[in-house]
Each structure stands twice: as structure tokens, then as C-alpha cells.
Amino acid sequence: MSRRMVVLLLTACSCFFSQGCTYRVWYEMLQERQRRECYENIGMGAIQKCLDRVNGMTYDQYVKSREDSKRQSK
């Protein structure tokens, strides 16, 4: 496990246990992890496509989409 990943996990755990992180921070941390995976696991031709997918939705758009889905399912 890389040092950066360990730091990210420790930060996430400390945020979780101190309850100082918001859902927005969790969302942004997951996006950052996905961005790193785009560079690590995908060939050069698909990196931009992967990054576009990851960066395609802001947290505010995600929340709105989630709320719309909840309304439609009721």
C-alpha cells in the first residue's frame, strides 16, 4: 500500500471518528481516489475519458440527483 493511500485512509478514519467530515468531504475524497485510479489502471488513450466521468458531477449535482431519485421512488 502506498504511503499516500495510508495517509488518505488515516485522514478518512480520523474524520469519521471525530465526525468532523461532511458528506461533501467524503464525496471529494472518493473522487480523488477515482482520479488516481484513472492514471494507475487505464491506458493513455482512456485516461481523459475516465477523468471526464469522474469529474462529470459536482457534489451539489450529486445531492440534487439523489434527492430527485428519492422523490421519484416514493
Confidence label for 48 from pLDDT (cuts 50, 70 and 90): confident
Confidence label for 19 from pLDDT (cuts 50, 70 and 90): low
Boundaries of domain holding 60: 22-66
pLDDT of residue 56 exceeding 60, the answer is yes
Rg (CA), the chain: 15
Question: Mean pLDDT highest for which of 14-18, 19-23, 28-32, 37-41?
Answer: 28-32
Distance separating alpha carbons of residues 42 and 35, to the nearest angstrom: 11
pLDDT mean across residues, the chain: 79
Q: Is residue 7 part of a domain?
A: no
Q: Is residue 35 part of a domain?
A: yes
Total domains in the chain come to: 1
Q: Is residue 33 part of a domain?
A: yes
